[in-house]
Structure formats: C-alpha cells, structure tokens
Amino acid sequence: MTITEKILARAAGRDRVTPGENIWVNVDVLMTHDVCGPGTIGIFKEQFGKDAKVWDASKIVIIPDHYIFTADPHARRNIEILRAFVKEQGIKYYYDPDFLQSEGMPSPYIDPSKTHYKGVCHIALPEEGHTRPGEVLFGTDSHTCTAGAFGEFATGIGNTDAGFVMGTGKLWVKVPPTMRFVFEGELPEYIMAKDLILAVIGEIGVDGATYRAMEFAGPAIYQLGKIAAGYDHPANMEERMTLCNMVIEAGGKNGVIAPDEVTLDYVRQRTAKGHVPQEFRVVHNDPDARFCYEKVFNVTNMEPRVAKPHSPDNKATVREVQGTPIDRAYLGSCTGGKITDFIAAAKVLRGKQVRVPTFIVPATTDIQRGLDEFKLNGQTLRQVFEQAGCIIGPPSCGACLGGPLDTLGRLNEPLTCISSTNRNFPGRMGHKEARVYLASPLTVAASAVEGVIADPREHLAEG
Amino acid sequence: MKATIRGKAYVVGDNVDTDQIIPARYLVYNPAIPDERKMFGRYALSAVPTAQAGLPQGGVPFVKENADKSEFAVIIGGKNFGCGSSREHAPLALREAGVEVVVAEFYARIFFRNAVNGGYLIPFETDERLCEKIRTGDEVEVNVPAHTLKNLTTGEAFALKPLGDILPIIEAGDVFAYARKSGMIP
C-alpha cells in the first residue's frame, strides 16, 4: 500500500484498503474557520440537536483567519458565533482575534506575541503542533491539503461533512489512487517549491489529479528552501508545505510527502509545548506500493515559472512572459506568505524600490513577528520591505480570495497583479475582469521592482 | 428524490470554479440563518465572466438584478465543474437560486461531495460535451432513474452516466439521512 492507503486503512480499522473503495474513517483532527464554521455549527445543531455535544472537544481546532481586518458587521458576527460555540462546547483549541472591537475596522494590536490570534489556518495548524504524521485531518477549506507535507492524510471538506464529523468523529471517503512526482537533480537557488508545483499543474492540468492523491518524492524535495539557507528557520518544511498546498489546484484530494528527520524535528519541537498529543505514527510506502502515474522532473535546468490568467495550469516560463506590464504585486497567503517566502522576496527587494503597489501580508502572527526578527545584512525583513516602499498588512487570508470590499490589497478594479498566492480563476482576488499571474515570491519581488514581469535570476545575481 | 426535473438550461464552459459560483465577498452571510441564506441565491454564478455567462451567446445573467431565484433550473457545464475552494456555499447557492440538477462532463471532488452529502442538487456526469450542444434558454428534462436528458426545444436526447455509489445518498436525501437509514447514527 501507499502512504495514503496505509493511513486510511488504519483510520478505518482495516488491514488493507484498495483505491476506489468507499470506507468510513475515524478523524484525528477537524479544523474550521470563520467563513465555514458558522454554517458547520448550524448543520451540526440542526442534525444532532441544539443541546448536542461534539464528539470530542479536544479534536476540534477553530482558527478564525479569513475576514478579520474588515469592518463588515456580518464578518464580526461570525466571530461571535465561533466564540459562543467554543465556550458552549469547551473546544480545546481556539485562536481568538481578541483585539476586535464591536464595530469598524479593527486597529491592529501592537505586539503580535500578546494576542491569541494566529492567522491563516493552514500555517497556524503546524506552528501549533496540530499536524502530525500518520493522522487524518479534515478541514473546511480546500487548502487543508497543505498538511500532507507532514506525512498525514489531510483534505478539504464542506460544511455538511464537517457537521457530520462534529457529531460522529467519522466520515466516508473514497480511497484515492496515488500519483507520484519525483524531483531529481541539483536544485538551483532561484527555484522555489512554487515553481515546482506550477510545473506539475502545468503538466497534468487543473483536473489532472481529480480524486487522486499526489505524492512528492526524490532528492530535490529535501534541497528545497536553499534561498533561506543559513537562517535558523525550517525553510525546507515550509517549502514542502507550499508543494502540498497547491495539489487542490490540480484537483488532487491530498498531497503527501514521506516524513523524515526534518519532518520529525519540526513536529517534535511544536508538539513538545505539551498541550497537543505527542504520539504519532510515521508511515512510509510499502515496497509493493502501486502508483497510478509516475513522472520524474529534473530540476537542475528548471526555469522560474508563472501561471498566466485565468487558470493555474495556464503555464509559461518567466522568460516567455517577461516584460508583461503589471499594476500590482502581492506576497501573502498560506501558499506564499511564510518566512521562507519573505526571506526570498527580501533578497530581491533589498536596496531597491518597487515600481507598483506591493503588498506584504504574513500568514500568521508568528510570521509577522519573524519580519522583525530575521535579518538580511543587518536589516530586518520589515526594514527591507519598508525601504523598498511595500505596504505591510496584518496576518490573514487577505486578498488571496478577494474577501469583503475593504480587504487590504483586494483587486477592486480590473488590474493586472502578480501574486505569490494559489489561484487565478476569474474574480478570485476581487474584480472578475482582473488578471492574476501566479509566481514564486522571488519572481513576484523581481516583477515589483521592474513594474513588469521579471526574471528573479538577474536580481539575485546583483545581490 | 424527484424522478424528472424539467426547466430552462443555463450553459457554462469548463473549470467554472467556486469563486465564480459564489464570490468570496458574500461568504460573510451565514447559511444557517434563513434571511441570509437567500442571499446566496441572489449572487449565484454572479462572477462568471460576461462572455461565458450563458453560452453560446454570453451576457445572460443567471439571476436577474434584485431577484433571489433564477429562471434556470438546470445547469449545463463542461469539464471540472466546481473546482477551487471547498465552500459548500457553492452548491447551496445554486440550490437557493432554484437549481435541482447540474450536468457536466465531470466535477471537482469537493463540489461533488458537497452537492451530494448536503442534498442540494444532483450532479450528473456525461461523456457528451453538452455545453456545446445545448443553448442557454433551451427547455430540458432530466429523467433521474433513466439517467437521460432530453432537449425539449430541439428534440435531441442524451445519455447521462449512472449515479453509481452516490445514488443511495441521493435517494435518502443527504448524508445524515443516509447514515440514519443505515443505522450509523441514531
């Protein structure tokens, strides 16, 4: 069996499962947030009764992250629904935006280490030790697949499924066959996980992995994060997360990477805080594991890539589109708003000026703090970005998915934007006629400096 | 489960993602509150680019301004309908607008699950590229047990794929009714 099949078999209490089978699995962690939580809670109460208790209050993680920095009264009301539910049910893991006032645009807190708020759920989950090898994680968000980077089964579900899990701790799943993507060769410093996953999606298309698991393997996986070499930071893990994060953009059910010492170091450090379970089970492919597809990429001569409007599989190399005018650059989200992403961007932006409005939106409060802690030639990342003329926002999902009209960086007009985020279907970042190019943080930063799509290699060479 | 579903068809192309089906700015509404739930019908399919909205001619709004319901009861799509985010608001919005069945070449996984488990609508698949054979506004009839679609405007008939694994959930109503029926939950 493959990693995915073995995890699902254990969760179903079975010795073996076969791709295509429908099985009921026991859930280790259920995650929800402010956009899908209220609807999920509504379904849970409708189906199990208004006084019903969740199946296990210590296995539900609630992370408000989507619509935090907005004056929208419904968005604020949704946080109140989450708070009331957490209190009523005794939910153990809840990361409250405790700085919110009753109305108006919230004034950001002064010190991100003094709030319970975390920010983007897919990055907050691993930071707080909620992602552990061998487990089954469901979340009411399509990018829940990010957690496959930790060698677990993680996928996105809707409100009904989440309401079902809340009441029963179980869910039916169809066992997916596994596609295997192997990265070989010597990874150049200018190639990031984003380039790799755009290459994969360009190869198989936005529906190429529908109903399938996507496993990433090969020596180049373990070289990812070179751009942040020398920093005391798990850059390699963050890059693996970026790789798994975008499997949904190929239609994939889950992404997975076999755990190794890098994974275990990361997980042990975060679970050692003691408030989350510390037991987990490392799962590897059996020697007889069967894959429904296998593709080898050699990364040695790989070029930086983009996805052109309006689809993540509308592939091109940066070279093919360089010189294309842009109106805006955006660095943020679960895909491209981590410390590694910002170290990469800072290496390009240091000592330069951006020519188009450029937004920096850290995924979480930990990352926001990191902007003041990590340095490049004596300057903090924040100083680099401020001197380059970037606009730095507070952590949340931000404009990646558009959101309420007052969301920082939202494309309220039909602009052209280059973005380190994950999706560029029409209307994703706001206006339905806006054009979004997806690229690595290095490419986004180089393009911000030139005001046109630009090759990061030239900018790194200068540094 | 209704045996036949009849109404006007609304035709879209490939990769109609959930941001086009229900834009993220409207996700502030809570589907568990009836007055807010209606808003999802009002804004269903509102972010499909104008040229692709109601094929082949385009420029056809799915829901008329200030209405909560659509005049179209059947959606005809191409490949990978409902890709993108996991928001259940997508099938819910179509249902609130009055849609009972979607016919596409195939679906993104989460949309398909949500449509079935939530009991919002029937997601039929077909090998035919119906988005190039049916025109927005054509009167169509879907026969659910026979898994066929008839275009009453032109007289053409098309085979759809059997519902397979999901049929028991659709017959029960939703995943909760199915689980109760099979004794999994009280």
Q: How does pLDDT run across A306-339, given as a tens digit for each residue? A: 999 999 999 999 999 999 999 999 999 999 999 9
Answer yes or no: do B85 and A142 touch at CB < 8 A: yes
Is residue A276 situated within a structural domain? yes
pLDDT of B101 reads 98
In A16-75, the residues whose Cβ lies within 8 Å of chain B are 22, 24, 35-36, 38-39, 41-43, 45-47, 66-67, 72, 74-75
Who has greater pLDDT, A112 or A78?
A78
Is residue A316 situated within a structural domain? yes
Domain architecture of chain B: domains with CATH: 4-181 (3.20.19.10)
* Distance, CA of B145 to CA of A319 (rounded, Å): 53
Is residue A302 situated within a structural domain? no
pLDDT at B68 over 80: yes
pLDDT of A111 reads 86
Answer yes or no: do B86 and A78 touch at CB < 8 A: no
Q: Are A348 and A359 spatial neighbours (Cβ–Cβ below 8 Å)?
A: no
Answer yes or no: do A404 and B184 touch at CB < 8 A: no
The alpha-carbon gap from B34 to the nearest alpha carbon of chain A, in Å, equals: 11
**Same domain assignment for residues A172 and A279:** yes
DSSP assigned state of A345: H
Could you give the percent of chain A with pLDDT greater than 90? 96
Query: For residue B31, what is the nearest residue in chain A, using CA coordinates?
Result: A39
pLDDT of A461 reads 66
Q: Which domain holds residue A119?
A: 3-296
pLDDT at A63 over 80: yes
pLDDT of A107 reads 81
pLDDT of A462 reads 54
pLDDT at B51 over 80: yes
Is residue A264 situated within a structural domain? yes
Q: Are A178 and A291 spatial neighbours (Cβ–Cβ below 8 Å)?
A: yes
Candidates B14, B16, B25: best to mutate against A (most CBs of A within 10 A) is: B25
**CATH number, domain containing residue A204:** 3.30.499.10
Q: DSSP labels for A269-320? A: HHHTTSSS----------TT---SEEEEEE-TTPPPEEE-TT-TT-EEEHHH
pLDDT of A79 reads 98
* Rg of chain A in Å (alpha carbons): 21
pLDDT at A463 over 70: no
Tell me which of A275, A296, A317 is where a domain ends: A296
Q: How does pLDDT run across A83-138, given as a tens digit for each residue? A: 999 999 999 999 999 999 888 999 877 788 899 999 999 999 999 999 999 999 99
**Same domain assignment for residues A338 and A219:** no
**Same domain assignment for residues A79 and A188:** yes
**Same domain assignment for residues A378 and A246:** no
pLDDT at A227 over 80: yes
Could you give the percent of chain B with pLDDT greater than 70? 100
Both tokens assigned to B108: 């993104």
Nearest to A427 among B23, B30, B175 (CB): B23
**Same domain assignment for residues A39 and A12:** yes
Strand partners, A328: A417
Question: Mean pLDDT, chain A, as a whole number?
Answer: 97
- Domains in chain A: how many in total? 2
Q: Are B19 and B111 spatial neighbours (Cβ–Cβ below 8 Å)?
A: no
A144 in contact with chain B, both atoms CB, cutoff 8 A? yes
CA-wise closest residue to A148 among A417, A1, A334, A295: A334
**Same domain assignment for residues A120 and A254:** yes
Q: How does pLDDT run across A29-58, given as a tens digit for each residue? A: 999 999 999 999 999 999 999 999 999 999
**Same domain assignment for residues A122 and A249:** yes
Answer yes or no: do B109 and A251 touch at CB < 8 A: yes
pLDDT of A153 reads 98
Per-residue pLDDT band for A273 (boundaries 50, 70, 90) equals confident
pLDDT of B71 reads 98
**Same domain assignment for residues A195 and A113:** yes
pLDDT of A274 reads 78
Per-residue pLDDT band for A428 (boundaries 50, 70, 90) equals very high
Q: How does pLDDT run across A195-218, given as a tens digit for each residue? A: 999 999 999 999 999 999 999 999
Per-residue pLDDT band for B95 (boundaries 50, 70, 90) equals very high
Answer yes or no: do B25 and A404 touch at CB < 8 A: yes
* Distance, CA of B141 to CA of B73 (rounded, Å): 10
Tell me which of A246, A263, A296 is where a domain ends: A296
Tell me which of A268, A296, A324 is where a domain ends: A296
pLDDT of A117 reads 97
**Same domain assignment for residues A109 and A207:** yes
**Same domain assignment for residues A287 and A335:** no
Q: DSSP labels for A86-139? A: HHHHT-SEE---TT--SSSSPPPPS-GGGSS--B-HHHHHHHTT---TT-EEEE
- Residue A401, classified by CB atoms within 10 Å of its CB into exposed (0-12), middle (13-18) or buried (19+), is buried
**Same domain assignment for residues A14 and A154:** yes
Residues of chain B with C-beta less than 8 angstroms from the C-beta of A19: none
* Distance, CA of A444 to CA of A348 (rounded, Å): 9
**Same domain assignment for residues A345 and A255:** no
Is residue A94 situated within a structural domain? yes
pLDDT at A296 over 80: yes
B31 in contact with chain A, both atoms CB, cutoff 8 A? yes
Residues of chain B with C-beta less than 8 angstroms from the C-beta of A404: 25, 28
